[in-house]
């Protein structure tokens, strides 16, 4: 019977790691012997497991041992050793080993420098990874460079200003040759939701209405089933749906049998025709922070056209057609359509590349982060150069010995460079770990309104980037010290005294220059960070126009079908009454969409107002609310009255406007005036304060509130509940109160208004946090740099200081002179940095809010912080200098 041999792969690996020596072979034998023993005693599986573990551990130890020149088995015949020497002394291997040995001799230096490089590389890699899916990699679609967005306006009118009527989709499809295909989706999809009942727990779900050709335009391959057919995409077709991959997995356990089944949405049957692939996350590309569980067809019909501007148009350009050419053709088509029907409104189209358009709002922020990461990396490099220069004198003797033994200058430079590259590569490992942690954190955050976040990972590109940065950094960091150290002076260095060794005037000046540049760069980063922090404060200090604290928003989605407005109002009145009865609830109100969520615009003409002939009318942001909403939100009444329960269908139509609308539409005199709407001419009965509806940073828009009892122009209803109690303590009771009216209604979908505000400032906060982290690292590095240079210059000048003290200079005097030296270095750096920042901040002014790029407070604060930190870092060497034992110092010179 033959005995079973150990697994082949670990054996081979180990043989490699150990080398081809007799002792190495004996180690393999030892291992195999124990393996056979275990095979008999513990069984095959256990023995194999054991062998793998043992062999791989040994592999790592042996491999590492060889690298650092401490092999775990050494049994070379003279011949073998000679061959190895001959082979490696010409090449990198011995230099590499030598570099490792040199670093190992000074582990403190190695650890600190690795951490510093790691910090810089981590920052750069993380920023690269965050930018990558949005700005570097092509979108995950077929031929993404041919995909474009067609927008109706420049975005001043909120979502309604960039979306289009479906009649535009219909006509552009047929008339514009430059589009191979044109489709889109209902941008207001999150204003309605669906209750899934039947299969398991009832659940409130979000569906996105897309044109039947949208998935084909993007080039999406379904995970299961098929895309919508053209027949399914028309008005009043049979109900069909496509599930998103996430929902399919979550709700149905990825059961392929779901395709073809019928699900009950709002008590109507919908047939599942397909499932989206896992790598297509619709909302993360088009509407970050929204959620979607399935797609429904969006018919291009007169009915959907009557809803006005609704559709975000996505098109695929015909092959070879440029965006400019397509725009020209679209312009002429729009002109022709206008001519054919002068009454037609909402015509227009601006074409942008899909990727460029999605990335556009984030471009300057990302570029700022990239620039900041680059600066941090530069500071890291300067810092390391400095540390290496400081080591120079200590290494001089060693280098001198090697030179007298025949090493050429080139060889020495190569070796010193290898040292810094090895260091930066080790730093890259630390940096990768940091970046992996950072990107996981970012990709996992749900509240961030930034597209493609879920696609952020450390991938091959990021790895390649890291390696390149590390290599470059290693070379850049090492080159100055390498040239410095390897240049001449053997006899002096071998002469024995370390006094002033390498601390030549030139080297010291160079190090001071490096520190100055470090301080200057830190200054730039601190100014950037400071400005962004001040902007954030300014944004957070903005008067929202409503009270976000102590308020909770609920989306109420009934699956009931209502026939009349009184019926629907009676239903919601009952819910509100139930909720108002919950202990701790102070006020309850209803609205179609909460501030900082979706928005739309309507056009109107004010009665008795003179408009230029054929000129446009006014536009405003409409909100349909109940008579308790404004009070519940604490929106102040300026004049007139709020709505009451008597403003119903039987009463004359009324509206409440905000101050901005009173000024823009009515020239400040709004009360009692009327606006023309399709349903009549409501009268303005009240003026209320402005509310930030679109974004905290944007100015006020004209807003008109319509009473819910008079106008059925809402799809969703959001309920605001104000309470002084912590929100978590009332949600359960409020949910129960809501379910009293409709047991099937999902009630888990609540959020505090604070969190709504938080989400809307999330991209800003994101930039802020990263930038501040960078600025603080820069500050730390700069102070380390100052400390390093000064403490070195102190130790170098000990004999001089000793003499000065022996000659009667006081300790305080010595301290003063060192501190003065610190302040001169830091002062020059701060001055240069402030100048650069003053120019540079103009480039980021688009990211600022409520603060000038030359904000004196930020600049002065930065200067103060930098000088203070420099002072502290200079103080330790200064104190050390003042304790110099003058007698000892004098002896060392003697």
Partner 1 sequence: MAKIGEFELLVLLAILRQRDEPYANRVREDLEENAERAVTRGALYRTLDRLASKGLVEWELEPSETPERGGHPMRRLYVTEEGREAARASRDVLLRFFDGLGPVETA
Residues lying near partner 1 in the complex (CB under 8 A): 2-3, 5-6, 22-23, 25-34, 36-37, 54, 57-58, 61-62, 65, 70-75
CA distance 856 to 842: 14
* Cα–Cα distance list, 235 to 231, 266, 299, 305, 668 (Å): 9, 18, 5, 11, 44
Which of 1, 894 has the CB closer to partner 1? 1
Which residues on neighbouring strands pair with residue 275, listed in sequence order?
A: 224, 243
Which of 33, 728 has the CB closer to partner 1? 33
Q: How far is CA 362 from the centre of its chain?
A: 9
Which of 57, 845 has the CB closer to partner 1? 57
Nearest partner of 348 among 361, 367, 364, 332, judged by Cα = 332
Which of 34, 490 has the CB closer to partner 1? 34
Tokens of 703: 């807003």
Read off the DSSP letter of residue 135: I
Cα angle: 782, vertex 785, 786; to 5 degrees: 90
- CA atoms in the 13 A half-sphere facing the CB of 160: 16
Which of 54, 809 has the CB closer to partner 1? 54
Which of 57, 404 has the CB closer to partner 1? 57
Q: How far is the CB of 430 from partner 1 (least distance, A)?
A: 25
CA distance 329 to 318: 12
CA distance 143 to 139: 9
Q: How far is the CB of 45 from partner 1 (least distance, A)?
A: 19
CA distance 519 to 454: 37
Which of 6, 120 has the CB closer to partner 1? 6
Q: How far is the CB of 415 from partner 1 (least distance, A)?
A: 25
Which of 77, 497 has the CB closer to partner 1? 77
Strands 294-297 and 240-243: antiparallel
CA distance 688 to 675: 17
Q: How far is CA 48 from the centre of its chain?
A: 45
Which of 25, 565 has the CB closer to partner 1? 25
Which of 79, 748 has the CB closer to partner 1? 79
Which of 62, 139 has the CB closer to partner 1? 62
For residue 7, the SS3 value is coil
Q: How far is the CB of 83 from partner 1 (least distance, A)?
A: 19
Q: How far is the CB of 56 from partner 1 (least distance, A)?
A: 11
Nearest partner of 396 among 480, 512, 495, 478, judged by Cα = 495
Q: How far is the CB of 29 from partner 1 (least distance, A)?
A: 3
Please write down the HEC assignment for all residues of 66-95.
HHCCCCCCCCCCHHHHHHHHHHHCCCHHHH
Element (H, E) at 303: helix 302-305
Give start and end residues of each alpha helix (H) in 589-726: 629-633, 659-666
Give DSSP secondary structure letters for 35-60. Answer: HHHHHHHH-HHHHHHHHHHHHHHHHH
Q: How far is the CB of 96 from partner 1 (least distance, A)?
A: 21
Cα angle: 597, vertex 165, 263; to 5 degrees: 65
Residues 6+ apart with CB under 8 A from 884: 798, 801, 802, 805, 814
Which of 22, 668 has the CB closer to partner 1? 22
Q: How many CB atoms lie within 10 A of CB 301?
A: 15
CA distance 754 to 596: 11
| Orientation of helix 323-340 relative to helix 166-175, angle to 10° | 110
Cα angle: 560, vertex 564, 566; to 5 degrees: 100
Q: How many CB atoms lie within 10 A of CB 756?
A: 17
**523 contacts 437 by C-beta, under 8 angstroms:** no
Strands 240-243 and 268-275: parallel
CA distance 698 to 682: 28
CA distance 603 to 615: 12
* Cα–Cα distance list, 516 to 288, 565, 785, 794, 814 (Å): 43, 72, 9, 18, 22
Give DSSP secondary structure letters for 811-856. Answer: HHHHHHHHHHHHHHHHHHHHHHHHHHHHHHGGGGGGG--SS-TT-H
Q: How far is the CB of 76 from partner 1 (least distance, A)?
A: 11
**626 contacts 709 by C-beta, under 8 angstroms:** yes
Which of 55, 123 has the CB closer to partner 1? 55
Nearest partner of 189 among 623, 715, 625, judged by Cα = 715
**827 contacts 820 by C-beta, under 8 angstroms:** no
């Amino acid at each position: 019977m033959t005995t079973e041999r150990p697994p082949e792969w670990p054996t081979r690996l180990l043989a490699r790691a150990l080398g081809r020596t007799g002792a190495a072979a004996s180690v393999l034998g030892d291992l195999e012997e124990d393996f056979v023993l275990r095979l008999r005693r513990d069984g095959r599986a256990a023995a194999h497991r054991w062998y793998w573990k043992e062999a791989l551990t040994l592999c790592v130890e042996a491999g590492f041992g060889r690298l650092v020149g401490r092999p775990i088995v050494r049994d070379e015949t003279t011949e073998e050793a000679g061959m190895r020497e001959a082979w490696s002394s010409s090449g990198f291997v011995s230099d590499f080993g030598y570099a490792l040995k040199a670093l190992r001799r000074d582990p403190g230096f190695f650890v600190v420098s690795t951490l510093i490089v790691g910090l810089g590389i981590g920052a750069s890699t993380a920023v690269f990874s965050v930018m990558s899916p949005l700005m570097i990699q092509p979108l995950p679609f077929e031929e993404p460079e041919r995909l474009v967005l067609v927008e109706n306006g420049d975005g001043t009118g909120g979502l309604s200003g960039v979306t289009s009527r479906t009649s535009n989709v219909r006509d552009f499809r047929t008339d514009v040759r430059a589009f191979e295909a044109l489709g889109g989706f209902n941008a207001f999809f999150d204003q309605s939701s669906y209750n899934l009942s039947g299969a398991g727990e009832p659940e409130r779900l979000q569906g996105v209405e897309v044109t039947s050709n949208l998935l084909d335009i993007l080039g999406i391959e379904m995970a299961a089933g098929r895309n919508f057919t053209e027949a399914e995409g028309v008005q009043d077709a049979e109900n069909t749906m496509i599930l998103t991959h996430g929902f399919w997995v979550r709700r149905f356990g990825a059961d392929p049998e779901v395709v073809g089944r019928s699900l009950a949405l709002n008590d109507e049957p919908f047939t599942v025709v397909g499932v989206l692939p896992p790598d297509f996350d619709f909302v993360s590309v088009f509407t970050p922070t929204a959620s979607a569980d399935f797609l429904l067809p969006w018919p291009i019909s007169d009915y959907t056209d009557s809803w006005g501007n609704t559709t975000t148009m996505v098109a695929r350009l015909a092959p070879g057609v440029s965006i400019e050419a397509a725009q020209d053709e679209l312009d002429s088509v729009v002109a022709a359509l206008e001519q054919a029907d002068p009454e037609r409104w909402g015509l227009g189209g601006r074409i942008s590349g899909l990727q460029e358009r999605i990335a556009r709002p984030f471009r300057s922020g990302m570029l700022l982060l990239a620039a900041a990461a680059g600066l941090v990396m530069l500071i890291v490099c300067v810092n390391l150069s400095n540390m290496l220069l400081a080591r120079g004198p200590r290494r001089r003797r060693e280098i001198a010995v090697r030179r007298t033994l025949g090493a050429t200058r080139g060889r020495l430079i190569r070796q010193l460079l290898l040292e810094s590259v090895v260091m930066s590569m080790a730093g890259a490992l630390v940096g990768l770990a940091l970046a992996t942690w950072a990107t996981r954190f970012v990709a996992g955050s749900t509240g961030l309104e930034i597209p493609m976040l879920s696609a952020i990972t450390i991938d091959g590109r990021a790895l390649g980037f890291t390696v390149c940065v590390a290599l470059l950094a290693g070379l850049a960091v090492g080159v100055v010290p390498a040239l410095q150290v390897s240049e001449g002076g053997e006899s002096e260095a071998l002469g024995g005294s370390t006094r002033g060794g390498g601390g030549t005037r030139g080297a010291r000046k160079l190090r001071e220059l490096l520190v100055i540049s470090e301080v200057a760069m830190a200054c730039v980063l601190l100014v950037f960070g400071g400005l962004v922090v001040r902007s954030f404060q300014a944004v957070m200090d903005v008067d929202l126009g409503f009270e976000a604290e102590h308020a909770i928003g609920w989306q109420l989605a009934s699956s009931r079908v209502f026939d009349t407005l009184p019926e629907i109002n009676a239903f919601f009145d009952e819910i509100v009454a139930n909720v108002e009865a919950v202990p701790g609830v102070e006020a309850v109100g209803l609205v179609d969409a909460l501030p900082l969520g979706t928005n739309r615009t309507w056009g109107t003409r004010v009665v008795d107002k003179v408009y230029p002939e054929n000129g446009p009318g006014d536009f405003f942001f409409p909100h349909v609310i109940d008579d308790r909403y404004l009070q519940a939100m604490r929106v102040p009444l300026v004049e007139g009255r709020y709505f009451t329960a008597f403003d119903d269908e039987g009463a004359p139509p009324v509206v409440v406007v905000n101050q901005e609308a009173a000024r823009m539409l009515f020239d400040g005199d709004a009360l009692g005036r009327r606006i023309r709407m399709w349903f009549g001419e409501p009268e303005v009965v009240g003026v209320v304060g402005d509310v930030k509806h679109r974004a905290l940073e944007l100015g006020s828009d004209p807003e008109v509130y319509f009473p819910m009892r008079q106008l059925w122009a809402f799809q969703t209803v959001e309920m605001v509940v104000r309470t002084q109690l912590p929100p978590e303590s009332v949600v359960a009771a409020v949910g129960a109160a809501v379910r009293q009216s409709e047991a099937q209604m999902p009630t888990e979908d609540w959020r505090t208004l604070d969190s709504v505000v938080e989400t809307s400032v999330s991209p800003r906060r994101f930039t802020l946090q990263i930038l501040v982290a960078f600025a603080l690292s820069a500050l730390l590095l700069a102070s380390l740099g100052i400390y390093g240079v000064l403490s070195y210059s102190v130790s170098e000048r000990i004999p001089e200081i000793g003499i000065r003290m022996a000659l009667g200079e006081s300790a305080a005097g010595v301290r003063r002179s060192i501190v003065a030296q610190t302040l001169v270095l830091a002062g020059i750096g701060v001055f240069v940095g402030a100048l650069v920042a003053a120019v540079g901040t103009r480039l980021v002014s688009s990211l600022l809010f409520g603060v000038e790029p030359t904000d004196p407070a930020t600049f002065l604060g930065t200067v103060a912080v930098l000088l203070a930190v420099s002072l502290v870092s200079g103080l330790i060497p200064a104190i050390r200098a003042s304790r110099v034992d003058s007698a000892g110092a004098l002896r060392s010179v003697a």
